[in-house]
Chains A and B, each alone.
Chain A
C-alpha cells in the first residue's frame, strides 16, 4: 500500500528538522573546540606551564594555577569523600525512618540545584568571614565540598544498591556487626561507584569558577601543599585565572591557552568517568 503524500511529506519534514538540529549542535561544538585549539595551542609552551607570572618581564605562566587546581581537588576530595560515602551508607544501610530518608534526599536534590554563585556567596559569608579563613584555597575547597556532595552521594548510593542482598545476609549470618559487614563486604563491592563519583566531582571542581572567585580569591603564587592548606593563602584555579586574564587584563592569548588545557582536562575526565562507569555496569 502506498502512503499518502501528506504523510510522506511530514516524515521528510521531521527528519529534515532533526538533521538540521544535529548539524547545528555538532557544528557549534566543533567550532568552539576548533577555535579554542587554533587560538590556544600556539601559546602553550614549557615556559607557560612551568613558571609563575612575572610582572617584571611581563610574561605569564600558569604553574601556580595548575598547582592550585590540584590542591583544591585534593582538599575537596579529602573532605567530601568520607562525608558523601558516609551519607550514602547511612541512607542505604542504616536509615530506617522513611520520612528522614525523604528529607535527606530532598536536601541533596536541593543542593544539586543551587547555582554555584550562591555557593560562592554563602561560602564567602561562612568560611571566609565567619570562620575567619580569609580568601584562601581552604575556604574555596570547603565551599566546593558542599557543591560536590550531591554528586558523590548519588553515585555511591547507586552502586551500594547494586550490591546483592545475599552478600549482606552472608556477612551478618557469620556474626559480623553492621559496620564490619559494610567495611568488609559492601564497600569493596561498590568501589567502582565511589571512583565514578570521585571523577565526576573532579570534573565539577575543574570547571567551577563562580563559587571560587570570592572564596579562594585570586593570586598567582607558587604554593607548597603545606602552605595551600593554611588559611589566608589565596590562589586562583585555572578557571578563575582564565576569567581574570580575559576580563580584567585583556591577556587573551593566555586565556585561550588555559581554555585549551581545560578542554583537554575535560575530555580526559569524561573518558575516565565513562571507563569507570562501564566497569561499574559490568559487575
Chain B
C-alpha cells in the first residue's frame, strides 16, 4: 500500500474548498446586488405608491413628488432611436466585414471596430458635448443642442461595436454548404450573402441587437454629458433625463426619501436589464440548437 503525504492531501482539500468558494463568488455577487437593490429600492416605491411612481410625470424632490414616467419614456425612446439607426448601419457593416471584405481591408476594419468598442464612454460624451451639441444647435436652430436627438446619436455610436462584433461572428458560423448551394443555383455572391447567409444567422443577429439594447439602456456617463439631465417629457431638442443619468446626476447630493427614490429608479433599471438579459439568453440558446 502506498503512503500518501498528509501535507499534500491537506493542500488538496484546502484548494478544493477555496476554488469552490471562488466559483460561488459570482452567484454571491448577483444575490448581493439584487438583494441590496430590492431592499433599498422598495421603501420609496411603497411610500410613493407603485402606480404613482411609474406613471407620475412630475419629478420634484423638493416637494416630494416622484414620478418617473418621463425618465422611463426617455430611456425607452432613446434606446429605440439608437437601435433604429444603429442596427441597419451595424448589420450592413457586419455583412461586409464578415463575408465580403478582402483580407487587407478586414485587417484594417476589424481593429477599427475594436477601437470603437474600447474608447471610454466619457470620451464619447466629451466629443458629443463639444461637437455634436453645438452642431445640433446651429443646424436645427434650437436654444440648446442637448436632448434626445444628441443622446440618440451618441448611443448609436456606442452600440455599433457590439452589434457589429456579435453579428459578424454569427454570419461566419453559417455552414459553407448553404452558400455553395446557393451559388451553384446561379445566385450572385451578393444575393447569397443577403438572402441565404443572413437569414441563416438570424438568431445570432437577434442576439447582437438585444446586446446593443442592453448597452444603450445601461449607458450613463456619455449621455449624461449631452442629454441636459432635466426630467422633462422626452423631446428631441430639449433637456431630458434617462434612468441611468437620473441616478448618476443626483446621487451626490440627495438624501432621505429623494435618495431612496433614486434607489427605486435603479431597481426599475435593473428590472429592465434583467428582462433584456432573459431575451438575450433565449436567442443565444436558440443559436446553440
Q: Once the chains bind, are A18 and B96 in contact (CB under 8 Å)? A: yes
Q: Decide if B33 is an interface residue (CB 8 Å cutoff).
A: yes
In A19-42, which residues have CB < 8 Å from any B CB? Answer: 19-22, 24-26, 28-29, 32-33, 35-36, 39
Chain B residues, CB < 8 A from A111: 26, 29-30
Chain A residues, CB < 8 A from B280: 113
Chain A residues, CB < 8 A from B26: 87, 104, 107-108, 111, 149-150, 153
B interface residues, how many (CB within 8 angstroms): 81
Q: Is the interface of A mostly helix, strand, loop or mixed?
A: helix
Q: Decide if B8 is an interface residue (CB 8 Å cutoff).
A: yes
Chain A residues, CB < 8 A from B225: 243, 246-247
Q: Once the chains bind, are B125 and A246 in contact (CB under 8 Å)? A: yes
* Bound-complex Cα distance A125 to B26 (A): 18
Binding stretch for chain A, among B12-20, B43-51, B52-60: B12-20
Q: Once the chains bind, are A274 and B221 in contact (CB under 8 Å)? A: no
Q: Once the chains bind, are A122 and B247 in contact (CB under 8 Å)? A: no
Q: Once the chains bind, are B36 and A122 in contact (CB under 8 Å)? A: yes
Contact for A91 among B23, B95, B126, B277, CB less than 8 A: B23
Chain B residues, CB < 8 A from A25: 89, 93, 112, 116, 160
Q: Decide if B231 is an interface residue (CB 8 Å cutoff).
A: no
Q: Decide if B63 is an interface residue (CB 8 Å cutoff).
A: no
Closest to A90 in B: B23
Closest to A121 in B: B266
A210 touching B30 in the complex, CB below 8 Å, given contacts A15-B190, A22-B96, A242-B123: no
Q: Once the chains bind, are A207 and B19 in contact (CB under 8 Å)? A: no
Q: Decide if A226 is an interface residue (CB 8 Å cutoff).
A: no
A186 to chain B, nearest CB (A): 12
Contact for B118 among A93, A117, A121, A203, CB less than 8 A: A203
Q: Once the chains bind, are B95 and A3 in contact (CB under 8 Å)? A: no
Q: Decide if A141 is an interface residue (CB 8 Å cutoff).
A: no
Contact for A115 among B21, B109, B191, B244, CB less than 8 A: B244
Q: Once the chains bind, are A17 and B22 in contact (CB under 8 Å)? A: no
Q: Decide if B92 is an interface residue (CB 8 Å cutoff).
A: yes
Q: Once the chains bind, are A246 and B126 in contact (CB under 8 Å)? A: yes
A104 to chain B, nearest CB (A): 6
Q: Once the chains bind, are B23 and A14 in contact (CB under 8 Å)? A: no
Binding stretch for chain B, among A43-51, A60-68, A162-170, A173-181: A173-181
A95 touching B23 in the complex, CB below 8 Å, given contacts A36-B127, A118-B266: yes
Q: Once the chains bind, are A146 and B29 in contact (CB under 8 Å)? A: yes
Q: Decide if B200 is an interface residue (CB 8 Å cutoff).
A: no
Q: Decide if B199 is an interface residue (CB 8 Å cutoff).
A: no
Q: Decide if B77 is an interface residue (CB 8 Å cutoff).
A: no
Contact for B120 among A87, A119, A214, A239, CB less than 8 A: A239
Contact for B22 among A20, A28, A86, A274, CB less than 8 A: A86
A104 touching B126 in the complex, CB below 8 Å, given contacts A22-B96, A109-B277, A180-B8: no
Closest to B124 in A: A32
A69 to chain B, nearest CB (A): 11
* Bound-complex Cα distance A204 to B121 (A): 11
B93 to chain A, nearest CB (A): 5
Binding stretch for chain A, among B138-146, B172-180, B268-276: B268-276
Q: Once the chains bind, are A87 and B22 in contact (CB under 8 Å)? A: yes
Q: Once the chains bind, are B127 and A32 in contact (CB under 8 Å)? A: yes
Q: CB-CB contacts of A57-91 with B at 8 A, as 1s and 0s?
A: 00000000000000000000000001111110111
Contact for B19 among A28, A90, A106, A107, CB less than 8 A: A90
A116 touching B126 in the complex, CB below 8 Å, given contacts A18-B92, A177-B8: no
Q: Decide if B217 is an interface residue (CB 8 Å cutoff).
A: yes
* Bound-complex Cα distance A91 to B27 (A): 13
Closest to B274 in A: A110
Known: A87-B19, A180-B11. 6 other contacts (CB 8 A): A26-B112, A35-B131, A86-B22, A114-B218, A117-B244, A179-B12
Interface residues of B (CB under 8 A from A): 2, 8-9, 11-12, 15-16, 18-27, 29-30, 32-33, 36-37, 40, 88-90, 92-93, 95-96, 100, 109, 111-112, 114-116, 118-127, 129-131, 157, 160, 186, 188, 190-191, 194, 214, 217-221, 224-225, 244, 247-248, 251-252, 263, 266, 269-270, 273-274, 276-277, 280-281
Q: Pull 10 A–B residue pairs with CB atoms less than 8 Å apart, ordered by A.
A: A86-B19, A90-B19, A107-B29, A117-B247, A120-B248, A178-B12, A206-B120, A209-B121, A242-B122, A262-B123
5 A-B pairs closest in CB distance: A115-B218, A86-B22, A90-B23, A21-B92, A207-B120
